[in-house]
């Protein structure tokens, strides 16, 4: 009897492609061309140079005079903590020292209503001007705690990796 139930559950899960073992959805892979488009939309910088290292991708932003103006990266290239239904990819624009200038949700596997609520209540704005060691102090939006925790963790992990591997070497 137990074998029959386990087999029935396994077959049911195979027949329902949107459900995984943990009830999590995966984010789509963002290719380099889409990454460049998103970078332009988020930063307004059309002269960004795409770079890759062993840890992920990033764009180097240049001023009109050609000087380093900052960086753009997407958290899903560096870190994918899971919210209620899955990860959320956040676009980050950083100044040359690695603190956050702007944030934008690129894609989320979490419930649309909760993600919209996070945006409306200004959760992402709380990260502006912050460095990795001050991310833990950002309060979550009530009712969307798991999604906020995942976003906070993704930003913190991404900045730690990026600042240690790129910003510290420039």
Give, for all 170 residues of the chain, the pLDDT tens digit.
Answer: 555 444 444 444 334 333 333 445 666 678 899 999 999 999 998 889 999 877 789 999 998 888 999 999 999 888 777 776 677 899 999 999 888 999 999 988 888 888 888 899 999 999 998 876 776 667 788 878 888 888 888 898 898 888 887 765 65
Nearest partner of 127 among 73, 164, 90, 161, judged by Cα = 90
The answer to whether 75 touches 100, Cβ cutoff 8 Å, is no
pTM comes to 0.78
Whole-angstrom Cα distance, residue 152 to residue 46? 28
Q: How far apart are alpha carbons 72 and 117 in whole angstroms?
A: 24
């Amino acid at each position: 009897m137990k074998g029959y139930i386990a087999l029935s559950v396994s077959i049911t899960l195979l027949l329902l492609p949107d459900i995984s073992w943990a009830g999590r959805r995966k984010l789509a892979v963002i290719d380099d061309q889409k990454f460049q488009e998103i970078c332009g939309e988020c930063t307004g910088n059309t002269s960004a140079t795409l770079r890759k290292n062993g840890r992920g991708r990033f764009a180097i932003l240049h001023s009109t005079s050609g000087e380093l103006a900052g960086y753009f990266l997407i958290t899903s290239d560096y870190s994918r903590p899971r919210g209620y239904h899955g990860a959320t990819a956040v676009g980050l624009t950083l100044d040359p020292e690695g603190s956050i200038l702007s944030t934008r949700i690129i894609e989320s596997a979490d419930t649309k209503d909760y993600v919209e609520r996070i945006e409306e209540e200004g959760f992402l704005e709380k990260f502006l001007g912050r460095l990795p060691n001050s991310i833990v102090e950002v309060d979550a939006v009530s009712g969307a705690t798991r999604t906020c925790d995942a976003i906070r963790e993704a930003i913190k992990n991404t900045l730690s990796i990026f600042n240690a591997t790129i910003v510290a070497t420039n």
